[in-house]
Amino acid sequence: MKGMTDAVGLRDIRSMVTSGRRSMPRVQRSGYLDLYMLQKAKQRLDTEAALLDKRARGIRKRLGDIRRQMEALRLSVEEEERKAGDGESAMSGPPERGAQKRWKTISAGY
């Protein structure tokens, strides 16, 4: 099953500019303009690639943090289950619905 990142979008369509085709024949003087345009496109893509790398590093770091937290929680849950299975702290869980403590009340006169 394809995800949203696998879907083909407008960025994947090749245009006249990206394919290097022209409607008019090239003029000798336009070589510098082409070099400039390609240089700007390269700079833009390099910047975008650097931003994507930075974002990917952040995502990988966050995934690592989540994995560590999940492992710590899993170990603590297993430890509680093991203790409950031994019979040591069978009452340490949440109280039953009917066994809740009643609030102490006092009357206040105004």
pLDDT (tens, 9 = 90+) of the chain, 110 residues, equals: 566 566 667 667 777 666 666 666 666 667 888 899 999 999 999 999 999 999 999 999 999 999 999 999 999 999 999 888 876 544 555 555 555 677 778 878 87
pLDDT given at position 42: 96
What is the spatial distance between Cα 110 and Cα 105, in angstroms, rounded to a whole number?
A: 16
Burial 76-109 (b: 16+ CB within 10 A, else e): eeeeeeeeeeeeeeeeeeeeeeeeeeeeeeeeee
Contact between residue 93 and residue 84 where contact means Cβ atoms under 8 Å apart: yes
- The token pair at 60 is 């990988």
pLDDT given at position 89: 47
